[in-house]
Structure 1
């Protein structure tokens, strides 16, 4: 039957997809609010709220929440991203009412007890410390901070030790009251679920949730680019090179996804073959494209030894330039196949499918059929990709590097390598 969608009287969107031959159900509540929605004095509060979600409500203790879901063999968890927060569970079909009741209790009656808060603040401080001690984690935080300097989009989701320690139960309550409303929420279930029955259960428990979140929307993002280097005495260097990417809604979003696969989406990709296999300049290299609601970022990550940095970066930049001149049809077809296979494989997981549906509804206002995505990919031509590349890789770069990076080329030299020799300019494909 595909995805079925209903809307409750308070505006809450409820969607389900029945997946035959699956005996379990993945369900959750996705909220269109994340770290990007924080005010200047709230850095890290969205993530702290997620941590506090299972620490007790007016009728359940933290133990009650954990034991009730595990008594039936289920799982419950939460996650925070830049633009969303999710609370989700996985249970057998007969335990759907319990899972919905637990999630609704968390969303409508969390206590944010002061003692529990103090313990969880300590846990997050450890998490921040662990991230700082992990170069391949911290380099991405520094990368986004540099690409979107002095903006919430560029800030670490975890917050800082100073901000995390400062939060009170009232501040968490206030943030939730300001950001959580039925107009910003989607409830989704995938697996062994019947739509009408699921909607009735959600209506019972979340039908009275406030209709609108009064909080302001985040300010528009502005990619600025720039340079960050942290010289550490490490065995290897973590380097991320990036450019302004494309938002989910724009024409070039899916083309950017395919371009990232052609450049660094697997062992057959250009970067892996040229940089790792042929030249042995690094032990890890890949490309990525992150889309957000109003912007994006395209990047290359490489991990290498100190002695190879000087040669590595020009080779990386050269491979980026080559995509502005030529892309082979077999590369495009391979990238399409990778995208399609990834989509199909994730669709076989109830949890992944529920997350996909929720994300699509929040971004596009509706579920997007797999066939529609395939049609969009089929319409992307070599000319369109080479044109995108010639524009994408001439924007101001972002460079972030952590480790023994003393031999890394100066930022001005990196930017200069991207414009000499010039790209072959092409008319935008339509």
Structure 2
């Protein structure tokens, strides 16, 4: 039978159904500073999974000689009992809603991140707030984390350790303090020390609330209600020294990290130019079963001959300094000649126009590809909001890379080539040259 004339216009047919919201390509990041000085940044990309992070500008660089390892302890203490919820309550309530609570640490920040479906976000945010801002660090719970701490220390590879030693050689203190607790400090960190570190460095002016798949209004409500101190203690500037650390072991392979002082995040143009320079010399292959076309890899291949080796350039930029260098891994008989050749390359840093164009394309591809990875996207927003106080979309960052000229990259390369070397090595060091032999 025919439908009523009055009912006809109210029927929604497939042909006129509303189109589904577009993906993240149409979203733009938003950022603002609240009245309590907390920075809030949101990227509402209509994702069914919401990610919310409470990030503090507090990392291993904020330790002192007597408190080394406290940032590592703080990371593994995430989710322990708080003043309003026990560890069991936090774990149980987040798990029952299908969520994850993740804590990440670097030299300048610590981030507490909740990943959960959007319909369960409101109920779970209280437990994220508890874990990030209401810690009490009960002595028995802190003590119970020591087996995990020892396990993590025992699982760190030599490649990671050599980077930690390189920072120690380059900076000595501040940025030189490791992300991992020194062995002689295991078991010496107590509740009072953890509380003092949190109350000193995890404050509102040093805090950012960042999220993807969530609106700015929701994050603003969370940020406004955080019960944290309003004081602000500035970081002490870290001085680059340029030194060497050697650690002899019985490992069959030797790892060496060699670097010069890089550029800081204060100058965004130089930071992007340095990032491009790193991509021009990266040893990573871009085609399966292919080989690296960089000049560095070709120089090292001619020295190594048939001996196996690994080489990768790295670029680490911080708020007041940076490191640019190469990590090497090879047999004890070959690593010495590879180290000398790498030092020659670092002291010249000559790049061609074609290499720079290739580096720009690689960097833009990595930026846009990371935008499709929700974890990488959130990490980028965290660092921008926390260290810059503003956020940019991946497309705008890629456009900024396009504006960097070849002369900008060459100017940064000339600046780095004049820098003082830092050296760290682990393994059989019979052929590894000392730093004064590389000058």
What band does the TM-score fall into relative to the shorter chain?
0.7 to 0.9
Query: Quick one: distance in 1 between partners of 2:179 and 2:35?
Result: 33
Aligned to 2:274: 256
Structure 1: runs of 5 or more not aligned: 416-430
**Residue 171 of structure 2 is aligned to residue 148 of structure 1:** yes
Structure 1 length-normalised TM: 0.87
Aligned to 1:218: 235
Q: SS of the counterpart of 1:10?
A: coil
Query: Is the 2:133–2:228 contact (alpha carbons within 8 Å) kept by the matching residues of 1?
Result: no
Query: Is the 1:26–1:190 contact (alpha carbons within 8 Å) kept by the matching residues of 2?
Result: yes
* Deviation per residue, 1:289-334 (Å, 9 max, x gap): 100110001110010012212331233234335533xx23321122
Describe the shift of the 1:12–1:57 C-alpha distance in structure 2 as closer, same or farther (beyond 3 A): same
Query: Is the 1:136–1:238 contact (alpha carbons within 8 Å) kept by the matching residues of 2?
Result: yes
* Deviation per residue, 1:114-173 (Å, 9 max, x gap): 111111134213323443xx3222211211111112x12101122223434222212211
Runs of 4+ in 1 over 6 A off after TM superposition: none
Aligned to 1:398: 422
Report which of the two structures shows the higher radius of gyration computed on alpha carbons.
2
CA RMSD of aligned residues (A): 2.2
Query: Quick one: distance in 2 between partners of 1:280 and 1:248?
Result: 40
**Residue 134 of structure 2 is aligned to residue 113 of structure 1:** no
Aligned to 1:237: 254
Q: SS of the counterpart of 2:72?
A: helix
Q: SS of the counterpart of 2:36?
A: coil
2:121 corresponds to which of 80, 93, 96 = 96
Aligned to 1:179: 201
Describe the shift of the 1:302–1:161 C-alpha distance in structure 2 as closer, same or farther (beyond 3 A): closer
The CA deviation at 1:80 is 1.6
Pairing 1:311-326 to 2, within 5 Å after superposition: 311-321=337-347, 323-324=349-350
Count of residue pairs the alignment pairs up: 404
Aligned to 1:209: 227
Q: Which moved more, 1:406-415 or 1:112-121?
A: 406-415
Describe the shift of the 1:163–1:318 C-alpha distance in structure 2 as closer, same or farther (beyond 3 A): closer
The CA deviation at 1:34 is 0.9
Query: Quick one: distance in 2 between partners of 1:393 and 1:359?
Result: 28
The CA deviation at 1:282 is 4.1
Structure 2 length-normalised TM: 0.86
Query: Is the 1:181–1:209 contact (alpha carbons within 8 Å) kept by the matching residues of 2?
Result: no
Structure 2: runs of 5 or more not aligned: 1-26, 286-291
* Deviation per residue, 1:187-223 (Å, 9 max, x gap): 11112x23324433x15xx525235235x32311111
The CA deviation at 1:57 is 1.7
**Residue 103 of structure 2 is aligned to residue 60 of structure 1:** no
Q: Which moved more, 1:236-245 or 1:370-379?
A: 370-379
